[in-house]
Amino acid sequence: MSGHSKWSTIKHKKAATDAKRGKIFTRLIREIQVAAREGGADEDSNPRLRTAVAAAKAQSMPSDNIKRAVMRGSGQLEGETYSEVTFEGYAPAGVAVMVETVTDNRNRTVAELRHIFSKNGGNLGENGCVSWMFHKRSVITVSKGDAEEDELMDVVLMAGADDMRDEGEHWAVDSAPEDHNTVLEAIRAAGIDPLSEEVSRVPENTVRVAGKQAGSVIRMIEKLEDQDDVQNVFSNFDIDERELEALSA
């Protein structure tokens, strides 16, 4: 699995003490609004909205904030109109990068992302330049200290997961995007709290980075994730887990 999976797990561990909690809420609210706009305000018939609301509750977002975001997205309240735009490019060492944004000003977002790419040794590319390297998958990680292999395997396969892999200190459960909520709910129903969960863009192939190159890649990804309109950053770097933790400490 690429460094992205490890990166997501580290971010999840830091989330409880993240000084940028306001930014986390902003991202979640935008995701709820877009999900409600595209699929309606009913969580039962809108899996994307159900996932977004669950993520917001996991971050202790007040229920009133969630309700207002759903109402704005579904047109019951006035508010900004956001569009989803995905950008593609390369980080140092030829690492492929995909950036998912939700923005009310595409021109501003393009300019800011282009600046981040170029200033950090990468380049923003044309649509399609790297997307062919990725496919959407549900990725749920569970600490080995929280679940035995056989126990977790039985739970996730019964729920419709496709695979479960050993990734050092944790298990990675791989499923089709449409099965994400079912598998996640089954894991939680078994009394297991995942380290991280997301519908991710998983790379077909990876680029191994280390040393200065690894540091450059991580710095660029951090800068991209700090940009206000960015929702998710996916890449195909691979890196030693201990080195990644040291670089992101």
**Euclidean distance between CA atoms 151 and 158, whole angstroms:** 11
Rg (CA), the chain: 18
Write the DSSP symbol of residue 20. Answer: T
Q: Where are the domains of the chain?
A: 83-127+205-247, 133-203
pLDDT digits (tens, 9 = 90+) for 33-91: 999 999 999 998 998 898 889 888 988 899 999 999 999 999 888 877 888 999 999 99
CATH domain 83-127+205-247 topology:
Alpha-Beta Plaits (3.30.70)
Question: According to the 3-state scheme, what is the secondary structure of 88-138?
Answer: EEECHHHCEEEEEEEECCHHHHHHHHHHHHHHCCCEECCCCCCHHHEEEEE
pTM score, two decimals? Answer: 0.79
Contact 164, 172 (CB under 8 A): yes
Per-residue pLDDT of the chain (249 residues; tens, 9 = 90+): 455 555 565 554 444 445 456 678 888 999 999 999 999 999 989 988 988 898 889 888 999 999 999 999 998 888 778 889 999 999 999 999 999 999 999 999 999 999 999 999 999 999 999 999 999 999 999 999 999 999 999 999 999 999 999 988 889 999 999 899 899 999 999 999 898 888 889 898 999 998 899 899 989 998 998 899 999 899 999 887 777 777 666
Same fold, 83-127+205-247 and 133-203: yes
173 bridge partner residues: 140, 164
CATH 3.30.70.980 given to domain 133-203: yes
